[in-house]
Structure 1
Amino acid sequence: MRQLAITIFCVFMPLLVGAQVMDDTNIKKLEQGGYNLEAGKVQVTFSDTVSPDFVNHQLSELGYEILSSTFQNIILSIENNPKPGQLNEIESLDYVDFVMSESAGIKDEDIEEMSRKDTVDSDRINTVLTQLNQTGQYEFIIVGLTHNASQEMVEELRSAYPELEILVEENSERTAIVKTEVDKELEAMDELKKLHFVKNTALIGSLEQ
């Protein structure tokens, strides 16, 4: 019997924001199969380097509609001070989208500028900037990579600048909720899984109340 990966999405209270920790009751419901599968929807995880436009075009060609999606590029931070000219060198690399730095803190206008970039999730980058701003020890440097940048390019950057402490603040994430015909979810998963840019597919479920 084929084993299915099932993604469980907890049903949050309307006023809660962010991640929710499951209590013992919800864990027991999950263990006992106390969840409902969402009809006409599947979750699809894509390869790390595909763009939103590419995915939208490819899936629409197959007749699929994307209900929602998350496309997050790799975000790096440099924790120590670079040599003069190094930031300009890094910013000129083909796989670097932007470099932002501030010696004494992050200005509000810098955050607004970064948040307007269509390759970056504004809520996540605001969190990263806040965390970095609290240290007060270094010149704060954020490096945003392009959509086609992979972990291999992060290692390439580290090798090129071994004296810099380069940390990954946000990994690449590319997922979408895709609309399917009701009762045809498994067939859609099989079809989507065959696409070279799809890493995996999953049914979607919510915990019973």
Structure 2
Amino acid sequence: MKPLVMVGAGPGSLPRIVAEAAEARGKPLAGYLDIGPDPKPPTTPLRRLGDESLLDDPAFLAVHDLVVAVQGKERRTIFEAILAAGGTLPVLIHPAAAISTTAHLGDGTVVSAGVIVQSDARIGRFCMLNTGCTIDHDNVVGDSVSIAPGAHTAGYVTIGDGAFIGLGALIIGGVKVGARATVGAGAVVVRDVAEGATVVGNPARPLPPKPR
């Protein structure tokens, strides 16, 4: 495996999660790249290798693997730009996670400590599986999905691209969560969630639209 470089930094939680997962698996990060107009150094001491201009450098991309530690709307754009330029985005799995041998995880997905992914689950690209969440058998999870700590899905759940599943949420078997939907913290989802909707409560219900 090539040296692993973190794209983006700053004092937030994701750079620390990435750095700790790499350290725990015995192959610490080789350094990081700054991203954006006002970059901040990571809390974890790491060597700065340069800025985002290196993502257009074929020589740099040829000898490094990359893991993206940027959050927000630009996260997926950065992933896709790296792949388009020929960069590689391996899956980063903390050794304290348990991943079924029949599960599949897409490029650039980060898996935190305590995560469980069961048999025949399909996790898309660029996902973030946070501490202690569980993805049960035969789930299909799209690209750029973020699942918060302690959230759990039953079997045969489908989660669309860009959805967010909040802290401690529960999703019963067979439910479909639409693309870009948000499931609030602690919600118990017992029926399908429409694209772009936000649901909260037990049982989870859509929030009313905001008044104009």
Normalising by the residue count of structure 2, what TM-score does the alignment of the two structures yield? 0.22
> Which has the bigger relative contact order, CA under 8 A and spacing at least 6?
1
Q: Which has the larger radius of gyration?
A: 1
Higher strand share: 1
Normalising by the residue count of structure 1, what TM-score does the alignment of the two structures yield? 0.22
